[in-house]
Amino acid sequence: MSVAYISEADRVRAALAAIPAGDYTTWVDMAFAVKHGLGEAGFDLWDAWSQTAPNYDARSARATWRSASESGAITLASLFWLAREHGFDLAGSRAFGDRAARSASAHAPIVGADASLERKRRARRAAVARQALSIWNWARPVAPDHPYLARKQIAPLPTLRELEAEELHVLLGYVPKSNDTALLGRVLIVPVRIGHQISTLELIDCEGRKSSLAGGAKAGGWWSVTPEQYRRDACLPVLIAEGVATAVAAWQATGWYTLAALSSGNLSKVATVWRAQHPKDALVILADLGAGFTHAEHAARNAHARLVVPRFASGAHIANQLPTDFNDMAVLDGKEAVGELLRRAVLETPAPTSTDAKASRTQTEGMSFYLTGDADMGSRKTDKGTGADDVRRHAEADRSDGDCASTRPSGTPEEGEQVFTHEPAASSVTETTDDGQHSSRGPRHAAGEFIYGLDAVPTEVKVAAERRFGAALRMSTPRENGGPYRGEVLNTEHFLVQEVAPRSVVFHAKGRMTFVSDRLRWMDEHHRLNGADVQIVYEGERAKLYPWDRARDQLERAVASLKKSAREMGLDGMDAKLDALHAASWARVKAARADALAQARSRVDGRGDIDDPQR
């Protein structure tokens, strides 16, 4: 019997179909993998798969494809492995041709350039592991007043330490960053272990920005809240959470042995490794709502574990964001509520078994899920992942149970609760109660608090922001007396969306915004603010919009940094020289701009905008 020939492109297409395209990191990795295996010819295939994501943007897709390298470390092997993690049947698929050839290829020794690359990778990981151990030994025990621990309401533990960001810079030889933003202040040091050895460190600064050591091994590694506890309480359930705060909150609520996988994509690896090492343990996967849910569901299915999801009262918010994980639940409802939910999940539901092919799905459907808010559930973190729809379906079923009110903290009334609404006609954000009356519960905002929440920003504005500035954005709103906020803006009818850092945006309501010049007002009225660099400063709740010159600001910062370095090195007389260089550089920039403006005016001479005010 003949077997139809299937091309390499068809194999890749079939594997990609099993992988959700909504997760930004996965989306980028798959661009590298497809380009590595198929070259430029793979763009149409990858782009067609990308279009299945709800936040697809053609311009971003082309830019990402151009940035992908054909010789990177992410190959088609990574793509097929990820597809298998999402349920793609490698063994049963004809796309891989002769199984005997596959088996021989899989066990063949690594030769040539691949062997050299693998040796370098292993050497690099070993060096990073030694560096991680050295930094861990150098670090101090974390203090109870660490801002991240205080905000998350979790206790300091012997398995956490801290260092100042400047100390880390010196020890590492580079500045650890999160999405191109440097970690600042007191940095939490979290050891990641593969087996019994530290392989790398997760770094969390005061604002919750996270990073890890460059080149370190993290896949399959975890952080344990209390490593010695497992030998003492081997009969108790084992909890596997996504992040540190969730793990500590669950441990404080139950006292059970708890691990943190430190990323949603690592959940399945950690759960599978633990199941292989401890086949009789009762594993419980603690899911985050939003993008991480799909990974949690796969982890539960692959490791034959229970899957438990946090519950929140209708309208619950934490720091102007929708709550997403068990730490948020502990902060809002108390650790007793978390403990009760987890104990009930373990005691009242049977553990999935490897003999039941549908065990994990059955367990998921048998659990109690509760979600609040509208259909935009995925925005609890980022609106990605197919798991959002699954959780929402469970939530709708659970709402009929009538027991969700018990999760509201005592003394927090539902009626009269402050909410934020956006009034399109006035282009402003107002604070009201559910019955439409103005709230009388004290001052509207304390200094430094958010003026309004993200729920006041229409969904279409958020979507436009992702299309303009890219997916997986960190979104925020301005604070009272906040600023200056500097960066490029996207101008919509009622909001200015400003990129204040790479993949970080702030939504400024335009209703009470003051333009400090006629030129800026004209640009707003004639839709010329798009792409402009501006500076926005808040006096109380009122915003003032100023022009901002990015090039000049960067030049001044560079000169100031050079002056500081010169003084630290004892180089006298450098300030005057640097000031002269600064003036010369800025004069050259202005001359170039004047030439460009003159050329532009010559091209449009006689047909310019007659209502354009003079600069």
**Encoded amino acid at 47, one letter:** D
Which residue's entry shows tokens 């005997």? 100
Average pLDDT over residues 310-323: 86
CA 427 – CA 512 distance, rounded (Å): 8
CA 433 – CA 450 distance, rounded (Å): 18
Q: What percent of the chain has pLDDT over 90?
A: 13
Q: What is the pLDDT of residues 85-101, one digit of tens each?
A: 777 765 554 434 443 34
Please classify residue 343 by burial: count the beta carbons closer than 10 Å to its beta carbon, then call 0-12 exposed, 13-18 middle and 19+ buried: middle
Q: Which residues contact 612 (CB under 8 A, 6 or more apart)?
A: 522
Residue 444 has pLDDT above 60, yes or no: no
Q: What is the reported pLDDT for 508?
A: 92
CA distances from 150 to 73, 139, 165, 197, 209 (A): 39, 19, 18, 29, 15
Among candidates 347, 334, 250, 236, which has minimal Cα distance to 281?
236
Contact call for residues 314 and 323 (beta carbons, < 8 A): no
> In 33-68, which positions are buried (b, 16+ CB within 10 angstroms) versus exposed (e)?
bbbbbbeeebbebbbebbeebebbbeebbeebbeeb
Q: What percent of the chain has pLDDT over 70?
A: 75
Q: What is the pLDDT of residues 169-225, one digit of tens each?
A: 888 888 888 888 889 999 999 999 988 889 999 999 988 999 988 888 888 899 999
Most confident stretch, 181-185, 239-243, 537-541, 580-584: 239-243
Average pLDDT over residues 18-46: 84
Report residue 251's pLDDT band, with 50, 70 and 90 as the boundaries.
very high
CA 470 – CA 61 distance, rounded (Å): 10
Token digits of residue 112: 């040539």
Quote the pTM value.
0.46
Q: What is the reported pLDDT for 231?
A: 56
CA 471 – CA 462 distance, rounded (Å): 10
**Encoded amino acid at 356, one letter:** D
Residue 383 has pLDDT above 60, yes or no: no
Residue 387 has pLDDT above 50, yes or no: no
CA distances from 109 to 101, 112, 114, 276 (A): 14, 10, 10, 25
Average pLDDT over residues 260-274: 89
CB atoms near residue 550 (< 10 Å): 13
**First-residue to last-residue Cα distance in the chain:** 78
Which of 180-189, 262-271, 356-365 shows the lowest per-residue confidence on average (mean pLDDT)?
A: 356-365
